[in-house]
């Protein structure tokens, strides 16, 4: 397996799976791990992960679920290639497939209603939010410079089967926009969970699950707290990462 000079191999600490990453590029964070835990995949289902980046979510879902197949769609060719090599590194070619393509071209890439589950960890910030990183791959991963929230939800609405499930992690300050956009593309918000760094701090992330053509009713799940004290993960984070609290 070829590893480039600017890459490293990280242990996902799940079934011995590993992931190729660029230390100076955009590396996956806790948000990808939390979304993979929040996502429900039934035995035999096929999953499409939009904005897949390094392919971490399809690989984690392949490790954690009995889904039949996982497809990752990534715009940036260097990251799509890196994700594909991670798939081969873990001998997952029969379950995970990486496609280099644009979310905005999803209608050309996939037939309507072709997936029962769609996941996405999209760029959180608009062009007017946050600091723009001069390293372009990071900018594309973090800011809506190549696609918008609406592009992501529209793509999910196209590929999702009726009653199919949509899972996304995003920023709480965009919740009103997120709900409005999901409803516009007939994805009804069904579950929501806020993520707090500490129990007494405001949430910094939110996970949302929606159903294509679902009825109006949303369940607000208990908040997820990352740290119980500085440098010490909460018991639930230890569970999600598959570690025992020592």
Is pLDDT larger for residue 2 or for residue 33?
33
Label residue 241 by pLDDT band (50, 70, 90).
confident
Give the C-alpha separation, 147 to 74, whole Å.
12
For the whole model, what pTM was predicted? 0.91
Lowest mean per-residue pLDDT among 26-40, 109-123, 124-138: 124-138
Label residue 13 by pLDDT band (50, 70, 90).
confident
Kindly give the pairing relationship between strand 8-11 and strand 18-21. Answer: antiparallel
**204 and 231 Cβ atoms separated by less than 8 Å:** no
Fold of the CATH domain 29-241? Rossmann fold (3.40.50)
Rounded to the nearest integer, the mean pLDDT of the chain is 91
Other Cβ atoms less than 10 A from the Cβ of 141: the count is: 25
pLDDT higher than threshold 50 for residue 213 = yes
Q: What is the pLDDT of residue 127?
A: 56
Q: What is the pLDDT of residue 133?
A: 52
Instruction: Name the one residue in this structure whose structure tokens are 């429900």.
Output: 40
CA proximity to 70, closest of 78, 57, 58: 58
Q: Sign of dihedral through CA atoms 135, 78, 37, 231?
A: negative
């Amino acid at each position: 397996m070829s590893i480039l000079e600017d890459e490293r191999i990280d242990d996902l600490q799940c079934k011995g799976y590993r992931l190729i990453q660029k230390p100076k590029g955009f590396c996956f964070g806790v948000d990808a791990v939390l979304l993979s835990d929040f996502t429900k995949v039934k035995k035999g289902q096929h999953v499409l992960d939009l904005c897949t980046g390094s392919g971490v979510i399809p690989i984690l879902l392949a490790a954690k679920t009995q889904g039949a197949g996982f497809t990752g769609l990534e715009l940036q060719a260097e990251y799509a290639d890196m994700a594909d090599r991670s798939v081969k590194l873990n001998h997952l070619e029969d379950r995970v497939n990486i496609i280099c393509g644009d979310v905005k071209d999803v209608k050309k890439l996939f037939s309507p209603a072709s997936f029962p589950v769609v996941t996405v960890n999209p760029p959180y910030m608009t062009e007017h939010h946050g600091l723009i990183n001069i390293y372009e791959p990071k900018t594309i991963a973090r800011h809506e410079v190549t696609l918008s929230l609406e592009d992501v939800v529209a793509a999910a609405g196209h590929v999702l089967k009726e009653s199919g499930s949509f899972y996304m992690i995003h920023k709480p300050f965009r919740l009103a926009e997120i709900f409005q956009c999901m409803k516009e593309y007939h994805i009804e918000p069904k579950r929501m969970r806020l993520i707090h760094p500490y129990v007494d701090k405001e949430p910094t992330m939110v996970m949302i699950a929606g159903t294509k053509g679902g009825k109006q009713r949303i369940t607000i799940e208990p908040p997820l707290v990352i740290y119980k004290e500085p440098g010490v993960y909460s018991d639930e984070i230890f569970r999600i990462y598959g570690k025992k609290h020592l």
